[in-house]
Amino acid sequence: MKGRDLTELAARNLREAILRNSLTTLGVAVGVASLVAMLSLGVGLQTLASQRLNKSGLFDAVFVTSRRGMRGIGGPPQQQPKPAKVEGAKPLDQTAKQEFEKLPNVTEVYPQVRFLTEVRYAGNSYSANVLGLPESSRSTGAFDGITGKYFSSPTADEAILHADFAKELSPQVATLVGKDLVLRYAARQQKSTQDIAAEKDIDKQLDDMMSGGISIVSREKKLRIAGIIESDPSAGIAGFGGGRVFLPLRVAEELHPAQPNDVQEFVRAGGSSKAAYAALTVRAKSPKDVLKIEDAIKNMGFMTFSLLDATRSLRLVFTVFDLFLGLFGSLALTVASLGIINTLVMAILERRREIGVLKALGATDGDVRSLFFAEAGAMGLLGGVFGVALGWLIGQALTWGTTLYLRRQDLPGVKISYVPWWLALSAVAFAVVVSLIAGLYPAGRAARLNPVEALRYE
């Protein structure tokens, strides 16, 4: 029989027992929906985690330090270079920064500006760690739930406070936005040779000569509080946590705060230190570029660290997670396939005489088998399509419910369910395959019916 005739006959047969076939198809749809909902949840959570982690800068960032005795960030001690190589190591200075910027697929290179400061607010003093944030941190997602606003410009004299620190300043953290605070910090000052020579106070001139012109002076900076955040954006961007006051990076750099490596550089250079960075963060276009960039920077003679291995582990975890979700989802489809077997076996009993007539008219065993297969496949296809739609709706409902809950907790909504095209197509194909497998026994049984016995059946 031709495919078109087979389809027409199968569709007619399905229409005739509309209630039973609809219920069976609904069973398949529910099975597929549970599978799709489960997997869409897995895919959604994986996508969410990947997006968040990518946005956080953890996985597209390479943290670079000089080999001049500074330990790499978080790296195990055995990965560190041997002390013998330290002598010839390059300084992590402006030249190195420019070299990194020229590397392919590098989007941004910025220093880590971090310093301890005293914060004065409403007549009280507080101790806090200050961190400069690059402009790119705006898109990390850490500021999604900000109270107030992100920095109005990269050079604005503004600060964003961590909520924990803000609570120390005032129990009503929201009232802090728009208020001013003052930073008192240690600034690094370097005098030129001419300035030292021009110094009239002989004691000071001697001090300057001994210190290579470097001095640490106390400075103050008035900043307006732009916003307050719950999460810590510094964890991803600079590799360290613990920032409590955040400034635009350029503002932080202009403060010239004394850095922990200043003294080290000074001692190494025998009192003629040039400004060098403690660490630089190199941002890649995407996490897949990180490895090449890391290798290139290592070849330049610097130490690097990235969290690429952590991404691989994350993928493994999610694959296992998806597998389990898929298995649980498939259980419902297995039950639905029993429904198909039941429906088709019932159909054989009811249509025994019809099968006999078809065989008497010249239908081959293959024709009869194909007819039952087509009916099973059609139920699978319809159930699959409805199931995907239903699964998508369940996913939407889950996203909606989660978003509602998060909003009540003053947190931004998230999309936890995602049905990619490959999942939709695979689910429909899976439903058809399962239905065809379920149809194997009934179709075989129908094909084997003896026409004489079938025609005798009342």
Partner 1 sequence: MMAADQNLIRAEKISRQYRLGETLIHAVNEISLEVTAGEFLALLGSSGSGKSTLLNLLAGLDRPTSGAIHVGGRNLGALDAEELARYRRDTVGMVFQSFNLLPRMTLEENVELPLRLAEVDHREREARVAEALERVRLGGRKRHRPSELSGGEQQRGALARALVNRPKILFADEPTGNLDSVNGEQILLLLQEIQSTLGMTVIMVTHERPLAERFTNRIVVLSDGRVVRDSAKELSEIRGKQ
Count CB-CB contacts under 10 A for residue 331: 13
Residue 83 in contact with partner 1, rule: CB under 8 A: no
Is 366 within 8 Å of 394 (Cβ atoms)?
Answer: no
As measured in angstroms, the least distance from the Cβ of 436 to partner 1 is: 22
Q: Which is nearer to partner 1, 357 or 433 (CB)?
A: 357
Residue 312 burial class via C-beta count within 10 angstroms: exposed 0-12, middle 13-18, buried 19 and up: exposed
Between 301 and 444, whose beta carbon lies closer to partner 1? 444
Listed ranges 76-84, 105-113, 353-361, 397-405: which one lies at the site for partner 1 (CB under 8 A) = 353-361
CB atoms within 10 A of CB 114: 20
CA-wise closest residue to 97 among 219, 358, 280: 280
* Nearest Cα residue to 35 out of 369, 277, 265, 326: 326
Nearer Cβ to partner 1, position 164 or 350?
350
Candidates 361, 408, 421, 422; binder of partner 1 (CB under 8 A) is 361
Read off the tokens for 142.
């850490």
DSSP secondary structure of 183-240: EEEEEEEE--HHHHHH---HHHHHHHHHHTTEEEEEEEEEEEEEEEESS-THHHHTS-
Q: Which residues contact 374 (CB under 8 A, 6 or more apart)?
A: 6, 7, 9, 10
Is 346 a binder of partner 1 (CB under 8 A)? no
Q: Distance between CA atoms of 143 and 236, rounded to whole angstroms?
A: 13
Task: Please pick, from the candidates 197, 206, 327, 360, the single residue that binds partner 1 as defined by CB under 8 A.
Answer: 360
**Cβ-based nearer residue to partner 1, 17 or 209:** 17
**Does 294 help bind partner 1 (rule: CB under 8 A)?**
no
Question: Residue 285 or residue 353: which is nearer to partner 1 going by CB?
Answer: 353
Please, which residue, 225 or 358, has the CB nearer to partner 1? Answer: 358
- Kindly report the number of other CB atoms within 10 A of residue 118's CB atom: 15
- Report the distance separating Cα 172 and Cα 50, nearest Å: 34
Q: Which of 449, 443, 305, 390 is nearest to 32 (CA)?
A: 390
Q: Does 354 bind partner 1 (CB under 8 A)?
A: yes
Q: Which of 116, 323, 331, 452 binds partner 1 (CB under 8 A)?
A: 452
69 or 444: whose CB is closer to partner 1? 444
Q: Are 48 and 417 in contact (CB under 8 A)?
A: no
Task: Tell me the window of 5-13, 227-235, 249-257, 397-405 that interacts with partner 1 (CB under 8 A).
Answer: 5-13
Among 36, 282, 341, 363, binds partner 1 (CB under 8 A): 363
DSSP percent split of the chain into helix, strand, coil, nearest 5: 55, 15, 25
How far is it, in rounded angstroms, from Cα 195 to Cα 208?
A: 9
Beta bridge partners of 161: 228, 245
298 Cβ contact partners less than 8 Å away, ≥ 6 residues apart? 304
Asked if 41 contacts 325 with a C-beta cutoff of 8 angstroms, the reply is: yes
Q: Is 365 in the site for partner 1 (CB under 8 A)?
A: yes
How far is the C-alpha of 329 from the C-alpha of 288, rounded, in Å? 32
Question: Which one among 79, 170, 286, 364 touches partner 1, defined by CB under 8 A?
Answer: 364
235 is a site residue for partner 1 (CB under 8 A)? no
Among 76, 171, 270, 362, binds partner 1 (CB under 8 A): 362
Q: Token pair for residue 154?
A: 């990269």
Q: Give min distance, CB of 360 to partner 1, in A.
A: 5
Of positions 85, 285, 315, 353, contacts partner 1 by CB under 8 A: 353
Residue in 5, 180, 220, 295 binding partner 1, rule: CB under 8 A: 5
**Binding to partner 1 (CB under 8 A): which residues in 14-43?**
16
| Residue 11 binds to partner 1 (criterion: CB under 8 A) | no
Distance CA 268, CA 265 (A): 5
Taking the complex as a whole, the smallest distance from the CB of residue 15 to partner 1 amounts, in Å, to 8
Strand partners, 219: 185
Count interface residues toward partner 1 (CB under 8 A).
25
Provide the minimum distance between the beta carbon of 353 and partner 1 in the complex, in angstroms, as a whole number: 7
Closest CB to partner 1 among residues 180, 350: 350
Does position 357 interact with partner 1 (CB under 8 A)? The reply is yes
Stretch that binds partner 1, among 53-61, 300-308, 350-358, 433-441 (CB under 8 A): 350-358
Query: Which residues of this protein are in contact with partner 1, per CB under 8 A?
Result: 1-2, 5, 9, 12-13, 16, 353-354, 356-367, 450-452, 455
